[in-house]
Chains A and B, each alone.
Chain A
Amino acid sequence: MSEPKGTSEPKGMLSRRELFRLSAVAAGAGILAGCDVAGGGGNAGGQGSGEGKIKALFMQQAAYSEADIRNMTADFQKANPKIQVEPTFVAYDALHDKIVAAAPAGTYDVVLIDVIWPAEFGTKKIVTEVSGDVPAAWQSGMLGGALTTAKYQGRFYGVPWILDTKYLFANTELLGRAGVDPVSLSTWDGVLAAARALKDKRVIEYPLLWSWKQVEALICDYTQLVGAFGGKFLADDGRAVAFNTGGGLAALEFMRRTLDEKLTNPNSLESVEDDVRKVFSEGGAAMAINWTYMVSAADDTANSKVAGKVAVLPTPSGPSGGPGVNGSMALSVTSGSRNQKAAWRYVSYLTSAEVQNKYAKNSLPCWAASYDDRKVVEANPKVVPVAKKQLASLIERPQVPRYNEISQLLQAEIQNALLGRKSPRQALDDAAAQAKPLVA
């Protein structure tokens, strides 16, 4: 076919002049964009009238269920008819990034923050400081582990709402078949011995299951073991990393040993807490550590094959005792919120002892007095006695503004060790070398 006459250039191609114009526009865009970086701005948030619409961001994973939160919110709106709350739910692993991405626009008025974020969100002013608003009675009435959740360098950036740590769950039927007494699971040595017995008697191929996917869940499990083996993430002055020596190293060596002995299910490396819950509920694991919400989930006959066969035990002890990882979370008012007054009312309501006690089934209250509240104990006959003991001793992940970067490095290097690509010592030394500039 011949080309139509008169078209020296094929259509769709840019002429030189057009290209020049386009570049000019692009350059203009660049200059405009440049003004924006240097220009001021900051957060356009404000107190607001205390009425109207607010948006809240929650997670859909562990602790209070979506239904719990919707019911709490409905009750709040009944009591405060002039405030409308629109809750949004995301997976835990998307929560941090969504808070960050939504911050400049002030999309959410209330956000759920994890215990590892106050340093970052506080110093970057993504959430508001509420030190002056938290009544003294709350500070004395809430448990210490809960209070740390919202605190950084003595200032409060939210109100504790979820007080959680990982407990040891055991399938009593499987243990019984191997002749293991659940009492022997009070130490990690006892857990190892039980796992070997379960494997030797062919009760189950892999007795142990963990949340070791390359996400924050891995660090939670690791932290719990670091505590048991007497390790520390940071040196006492907080300016140097310390996880590559002593208990930090022993914890990773323990993890690796359970894989080498084929006691830990290799699927652990692709599992988060909810995968552990599902497999445990199917009878696919004899022992696992997980958050409080697994108690009611695994004992629910509608969704679990092991209902009635679940033992909830304190996290096992190592040579240095048995602190649980502090996995608490708090509710914060964002600095971009244009209705901070209404947002604070909502936060105050959700975190009140009354509401926390009412929904204690999936998440234990942050208030000390709640643990002697008859209704709370009755709702959780299995956990409350264990929680009373374990919540008194918790281990924190490092509270530094650049925690996420340290966590990412650790996750990758711990998995290198778990997959046998590096020795535990080498992996942690490598992580430490990379993390060093992040804490100084």
Chain B
Amino acid sequence: MSEAARGVSEAGHRVKTSRSGSARLAYALLLPAAVLVFGVVLYPAGRALVISFYDVNSPFPGAYPFLGLANYAAVLSDGRVWTAAGHTLYFTVVSTAAELVFGMGLALLLAAPLKLRWLFRSIVILPWALPTIVNGAMWRLILNAEYGVLNAVLTQLGLADGYRSWLGSDPFVALNMVVAADVWKNTSLVAFFLLAGLSTIPRELYEAARVDGAGAVRSFLRITLPLLVPTVAIVLVLRTIEAFKVFDIVYVMTGGGPASGTQTITFFTYLQAFSSQRFSVGSALAYLTVLAVLALAMVYLRLLRQRST
């Protein structure tokens, strides 16, 4: 073996040992995270799945009757579940669509070369920085029929004859108010995602389009929108899944009322599990929700992959 070859093989050996050493280190570093993931994700998920096959009606461990798939059958044949699923679907579609449209407008505005742009950007992120609970409590006050700001503004501007109840008089109006509160909060998140997407579009494209005589609308439709599709897709996946799981804002703003008109699937699940102590029914509902979200995510991911190839 020549000197040079030996040198190479030694170097290769060194690389190999240091590689297995660093792999060990990597596993050691990953261990805390793995324990955490197991403890707070995998174990509870497994336990919830098992519980969903029994009739667990108390928070304590014990011997409960095995029901098999009966809880799933009961849930799927409960009219209240389908009503709640309908509300969830409406909430998800409308809030995600509105957040995308408003978020796009906001992102374009924030991307414009304005003075004090940093200030606008900071202000716009504020709603998203608010905890959902605070946002819900705030909107409940704004919408309060007696001393809420909305009624005062509408009547003083002459847009309404008198004070009206936004969260108690009509289930559909109440549902839309919950949507509005969610849109107000999450539009800024969407806007910031899209703003990040906008900043990756090369300026030269717009300049070239201008030289070719394209107007603002045309360059938006032909350049901005197509190049933003990956970002939009990510935002869509994130927001749909989040919206599908909506719970806290409903809990704070309406408690599911009036006439269960704002009861979403997760809120109904919560009532079943904790208020009624039907933990198995709650678990079954939670698993069905997970399946629905999983299906949605897979559809989205497939669409994304098709686009990118």
Contact = CB atoms under 8 A, between A and B. Distances in A.
A32 B46 contact: yes
Given A29-B42, A37-B64, A267-B145, A215 B255 contact: yes
A431 interface: no
A39 B256 CA distance: 36
Main secondary structure of the interface of A (DSSP, over half): helix
A125 B58 CA distance: 9
Given A214-B257, A419-B259, A103 B49 contact: no
A26 B180 CA distance: 38
B60 A41 contact: yes
A97 B275 contact: yes
A214 B274 contact: no
Contacts of B276: 402, 404-405, 408
Interface residues of B, number: 49
B277 A39 contact: no
B277 A269 contact: no
A104 B51 CA distance: 16
Interface string A391-406: 0000000000010110
Given A37-B64, A215-B255, A100 B59 contact: yes
Contact of B63 (A38, A104, A213): A38
A124 B277 contact: yes
A310 B63 CA distance: 55
A131 to B, nearest CB: 21
A278 B274 CA distance: 30
A266 interface: yes
A148 interface: no
Contacts of A418: 259
A388 interface: no
B38 A282 contact: no
A37 B164 CA distance: 50
Q: Report, as a range, how many residues of chain A touch the other chain.
A: 35 or more
Interface string A235-250: 0000000000000000
B273 to A, nearest CB: 9
A213 B168 contact: yes
Contacts of B165: 266-267, 269-270
Contact of A37 (B54, B255, B258): B54
B50 A42 contact: no
A33 interface: yes
Interface in A36-93: 36-43, 93
Interface of B: 38, 42-51, 54, 56-64, 80, 145-147, 162, 164-171, 174, 254-260, 270-271, 274-278
30 contacts: A25-B38, A25-B42, A29-B38, A31-B46, A32-B46, A33-B44, A33-B46, A36-B50, A37-B47, A41-B61, A96-B274, A97-B275, A100-B59, A100-B277, A104-B60, A124-B58, A124-B59, A205-B162, A213-B258, A214-B254, A215-B255, A268-B168, A270-B145, A270-B165, A270-B258, A271-B168, A278-B147, A402-B276, A415-B258, A418-B259
**Top 7 A-B pairs, shortest CB-CB distance:** A214-B257, A270-B168, A33-B47, A269-B168, A41-B61, A30-B46, A29-B46
